[in-house]
Amino acid sequence: MSQRNPFRTRAIGAGIGLTVAALALAGCSGSSSTPAASNSALSGDPIGIGVVASESGAFSDGGTAAADAAKAWESQTNADGGLGGRPVKVTIIDSKTTAPGGQSAVSQLVGDPGNLALVYSDLASELQVDQFLQDQNIAVLSGGGSGQTTWTTHSNLFNTSALSDTVVDSNFYAAQAAGATDMGWGYCVEAASCQGHIPEVTKLVTDAGLKDAGSQPISGSAASYTAECLSWIGAGANAIGLITASATDAKIAADCIQQGYNGLFAVSGALDTNQLSQTPGMKTVGAVSGFPWWADAAPVQRYRGAMKNYASNPDTTTGNGQATSTWGVLELLKKAIGTNTASLTRQGVIDAMDQVKNETLDGLLPQPITFTAGQPSPVVTCFWNFTYTGGDSNPKSLAPTGKSGNGASGDLASSCATGS
């Protein structure tokens, strides 16, 4: 069968984000807010930004990192003069990686009139709350972008990250480009949509002339993954694609390496090197949907500096794709709002976001971003490819096969998928 070009993916299918069904009522979500950085020049009422983040539950590693990035952004922004001289106040509520938890968090944050915008950073519950988000007259920013149904169908939702179909497909192409010939897949059982990716990626494998080494359901709470590893090894896999949380990726890799596997792991878009570094020798390839935090470019150095100075747990949260996605979209919000904030309202924030045209934030965004009043966000099809070996300090960027998607060079140059 004919082989497709590396990093070429199909048009994104609707509704396949990393989502978790609402199995139980989440209860009351806890909340936290961070004090404004000391700056005597700031005046006026704080501009509130609510953040919904999955700080507990199956995908807590990404949500915790996103929350830490939002805290650091608040403090750095206030230290730099706030928004038009007004302080920023970030309030974070844990969604608990459930739909009830996410809806409760949104209700609490929208109920505070001081909050003029929201960031939603729970890749697992967003699909179950997207209609509720649409019903709120407030700008909702993506803290990592996952499913198309959520982020490309509502005009008050603003996304700057590649969606899950693009990222998962790109992981296959990264593995193929790295020499994969026999590829298996592991998918999370916590979200039905994790399995929803399997028919597409299996088709990509077989259409490219590679051997399908089988797919395995994965529970993040399992004590061992030996059986799954032996199945892949028995099928001759030299690449395993993982549609699971980063903490689970690391545990699967440790068990497979212990069983003698020495091939590649293709991992998902919210790459977390703090988790993967715990498995020395784990060889990974893939794509990250938030900017690469290891880049030398000045805007990335500013991010790392803010995380070092202000984040609660910078050693464990700086190196996370969900953190950089959250930082990037907050930087875009800041630029969109500008300095005219004296009478800023929720509708004013939406109007400001709708004025964003062809913006890349000097490479922090994967492609030029444009929003149009009354229309949903366009599909983002660009991302950053990487390789990473467990135990290394940082990943290594892979140069795009063609033109840089965001016009940047070096480690910030993005790769882009093209629909077929």
Condensed to tens digits (0 to 9), the pLDDT of residues 128-177 reads 888 899 999 999 999 887 777 788 989 999 999 988 788 888 888 889 88
- 2 — pLDDT class (breaks 50, 70, 90): very low
Neighbours of 372 (CB within 10 A): 13
Q: Which helix (H) or strand (E) holds 63?
A: helix 60-79
- 3 — pLDDT class (breaks 50, 70, 90): very low
**The pLDDT of residue 169:** 86
Please determine, for residue 37, whether its predicted confidence score (pLDDT) is greater than 70: no
Instruction: Kindly report, residue by residue over 310-330, the tens digit of the pLDDT.
Output: 999 999 999 998 999 999 999
Please determine, for residue 202, whether its predicted confidence score (pLDDT) is greater than 90: yes
Nearest-CA neighbor of 284 among 320, 315, 318, 253? 253
- DSSP annotation of 294 reads T
- Residues of the chain above pLDDT 90, percent: 65
Please determine, for residue 407, whether its predicted confidence score (pLDDT) is greater than 70: yes
- 36 — pLDDT class (breaks 50, 70, 90): very low
Query: Which domains does the chain carry?
Result: 31-162+298-379 (3.40.50.2300), 165-292+383-416 (3.40.50.2300)
Instruction: Kindly report, residue by residue over 45-63, the tens digit of the pLDDT.
Output: 999 999 999 999 877 888 9
Q: Which residues contact 42 (CB under 8 A, 6 or more apart)?
A: 36, 78, 81, 82, 85, 86, 87
pTM: 0.84
Instruction: Kindly report, residue by residue over 80-90, the tens digit of the pLDDT.
Output: 999 999 999 99
**The pLDDT of residue 11:** 31
Average pLDDT of the residues in 244-258: 90
Distance in angstroms (rounded) separating the CA atoms of residues 163 and 337 = 25
